[in-house]
């Protein structure tokens, strides 16, 4: 058996290949990751709930099957975000309302993952109900960025991103409404991929036809994210938006990199301030593509209505999803949650109709934009990781924000378009903090997107070669 640290340093693709060749077992990987968690977790607080007995029981049952019948992940351990129910495992949603909640059934996505040979060993930390791009809550406290523990890991998939960066996971599950897969990936130097709505089936909740939220993979490399997306994807009748499998695998696309012909770059999408250092790092990364023969132009679709449309549609989603909690437990909700739910409850029909019309126009413009470009590149986040003591980013480059979510506009504007978007590492600040590039493709264009991203990965030369120890 390889040494524990050697196993931790493997890519997810390499670990799965080792599992399929039976050079290592799922139980050995669980032993390795449990030891790594014991070493690292007290310093970062990223995986507050562990379930290794359940994981070992599942792994043993999986090992009773022939290797060829163990699924795409073949026994690879991973954490599930604490907004997503896992049967028999404490799931708190980052809220004291659910501090002792033990679900009796798993979310669709957990069934999908376990059906493809994923072994769930714990839950990753989130902000309360995923609200806000900073992972802290009243149940488990603050999650720390491993590149500088005084800084935010962002959110809401903050625990997932930290677990990857520190080698406490090979892949990690996340979800994204306004940047929750992408922004933590940028802050922690990993890959976070929000696919097109419906690409990954999930429990739809009370907003059955909502296009705002999406489930997706997080990993340390583009190929690892593609591998996990293969395991996550597929149609499920319980999710009416879910899409059928494509004839080609996402991993095969990532394993066959292709140079894009023409990409657009925008530091701000015309809608947000950006920290000058972040803008310069991302622009320099885009210019590296010019050196590889890619046409790079400054351009972006017209997303000028994104702020108004997203504020309304998100508030509607929050009122539908969390209105009863505000009614029954107002003293247990954080101020940002209360504000967002109350905003939704006050919405008028004309406001909703206008927001839906704006979203339709944003989608139409974005599809037309990709008739001229293979990709749109932007910074994933407008700032580098910020101090833990801030609840959210209040200002950037001299501009103060009105709400707790305004600083996430460069991500949530893309949410509205339904375009798939991933964050990949593209550089570091002068103080050594990671910066991510948001790579956006035509709606449902994930195969091309992954092939292009795999080409860009060595050009940017910022991907984690091995997990880091918290600093």
The 10s digit of each residue's pLDDT in 362-417 is 999 999 999 999 999 999 999 999 999 999 999 999 999 999 999 999 999 999 99
pLDDT tier, 92 (very low <50, low <70, confident <90, very high otherwise): very high
**Token representation of residue 346:** 């006050």
Residue 435 near residue 189, CB atoms below 8 Å: no
DSSP of 339-390: HHHHHHHT--HHHHHHHHHHHHHHHHHHHHHTTT-SEEEEESSSSS--BTT-
Residue by residue, DSSP assigns 300-329 as ----TTHHHHHHHHHHHHHHHHHHHHHHH-
Quickly count: other Cβ atoms within 10 Å of residue 20's Cβ. Answer: 15
| Angle at alpha carbon of residue 168, lines to 391 and 121, rounded to 5° | 100
pLDDT tens track for 30-61: 999 999 999 999 999 999 999 999 999 999 99
Confidence at residue 456, expressed as pLDDT on a 0 to 100 scale: 98
Average pLDDT, stretch 411-434? 98
Cβ(126)–Cβ(116) below 8 Å: no
Sequence-ordered strand ranges (E) for 187-335: 191-194, 214-219, 262-265, 295-298
The Cα–Cα gap between 302 and 269 comes to: 8
**pLDDT score at 442:** 98
pLDDT given at position 2: 78
Residue 298 tokens, joined: 């400054």
Q: What is the mean pLDDT of residues 135-158?
A: 98
Average pLDDT over residues 261-282: 98
Q: Which CATH architecture has domain 4-460?
A: Alpha-Beta Complex (3.90)
**pLDDT at residue 258 is higher than 80:** yes
Catalytic residues: 81, 156, 180
**Burial class of 6 by CB neighbour count within 10 A (0 to 12, 13 to 18, 19+):** exposed
Report pLDDT for 7. 98
Check residue 449 and give its pLDDT: 99
Q: For all residues of the chain together, what is the average pLDDT?
A: 98
d(CA 106, CA 34): 23
Q: Tell me the backbone φ, ψ of residue 223, rounded to 5 degrees.
A: -60, -40
| Rounded average pLDDT over 304-330 | 97
CA–CA dist 153, 145 (Å, integer): 4
Per-residue confidence (pLDDT) for residue 1, from 0 to 100 = 60
pLDDT score of 266: 99
Closest CA to 117 of 72, 177, 61: 72
Q: What is the pTM of this model?
A: 0.98
Please give the angle made by the CA atoms of 253, 256 and 262, to the nearest 5 degrees.
85
Tens digit of each residue's pLDDT (9 = 90 or more) over 13-36: 999 999 999 999 999 999 999 999
The percentage of residues in the chain with a pLDDT greater than 90, rounded to a whole number, is 98
């Amino acid at each position: 058996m390889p040494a524990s640290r050697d196993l931790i340093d493997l890519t997810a693709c390499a670990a799965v290949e080792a599992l399929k060749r039976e050079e290592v077992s799922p139980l050995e990987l669980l032993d390795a990751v449990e030891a790594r968690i014991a070493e690292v977790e007290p310093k970062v607080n990223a995986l507050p709930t562990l379930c290794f007995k359940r994981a070992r029981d599942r792994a043993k049952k999986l090992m009773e099957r022939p290797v060829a019948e163990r699924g795409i992940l073949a026994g690879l351990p991973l954490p599930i975000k604490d907004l997503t129910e896992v049967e028999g495992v404490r799931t708190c949603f980052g809220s004291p309302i659910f501090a002792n909640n033990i679900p009796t059934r798993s979310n669709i996505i957990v069934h999908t993952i376990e059906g493809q040979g994923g072994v769930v060993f714990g839950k990753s930390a989130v902000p309360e109900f995923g609200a806000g791009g900073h992972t802290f809550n009243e149940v488990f406290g603050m999650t720390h960025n491993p590149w500088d523990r005084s800084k935010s890991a962002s959110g809401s998939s903050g625990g997932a991103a930290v677990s990857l960066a520190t080698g406490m996971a090979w892949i990690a599950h996340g979800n994204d409404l306004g940047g929750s897969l992408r922004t933590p990936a940028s802050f922690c130097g990993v890959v976070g991929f929000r696919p097109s709505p419906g690409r990954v089936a999930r429990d739809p909740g009370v907003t059955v036809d909502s296009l705002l939220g999406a489930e997706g993979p997080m990993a340390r490399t583009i190929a690892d994210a593609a591998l996990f997306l293969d395991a996550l994807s597929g149609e499920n009748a319980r999710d009416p938006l879910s899409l059928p499998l494509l004839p080609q695998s996402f991993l095969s696309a990532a394993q066959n990199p292709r140079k894009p012909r023409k990409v657009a770059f925008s530091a701000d999408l015309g809608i947000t301030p950006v920290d000058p250092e972040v803008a310069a790092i991302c622009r320099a990364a885009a210019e590296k593509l010019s050196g590889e023969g890619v046409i790079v132009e400054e351009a972006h679709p017209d997303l000028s209505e994104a702020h108004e449309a997203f504020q309304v549609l998100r508030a509607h989603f929050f009122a539908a999803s969390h209105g009863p909690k505000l009614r029954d437990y107002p003293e247990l909700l954080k101020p940002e949650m209360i504000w967002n739910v109350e905003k939704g409850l006050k919405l008028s029909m004309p406001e909703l109709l206008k927001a839906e019309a704006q979203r339709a126009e944003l989608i139409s413009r974005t599809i037309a934009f990709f008739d001229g470009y293979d990709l749109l590149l932007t910074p994933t986040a407008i700032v580098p990781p910020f101090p833990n003591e801030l609840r959210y980013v209040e200002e950037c480059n001299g501009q103060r924000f009105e709400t707790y979510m305004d600083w996430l506009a460069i991500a949530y504007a893309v949410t509205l378009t339904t375009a798939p978007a991933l964050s990949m590492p593209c550089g570091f600040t002068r103080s050594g903090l990671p910066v991510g590039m948001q790579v956006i493709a035509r709606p449902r264009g994930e195969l091309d997107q992954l092939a292009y991203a795999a080409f860009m990965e060595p050009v940017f030369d910022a991907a984690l070669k091995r997990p880091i120890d918290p600093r």
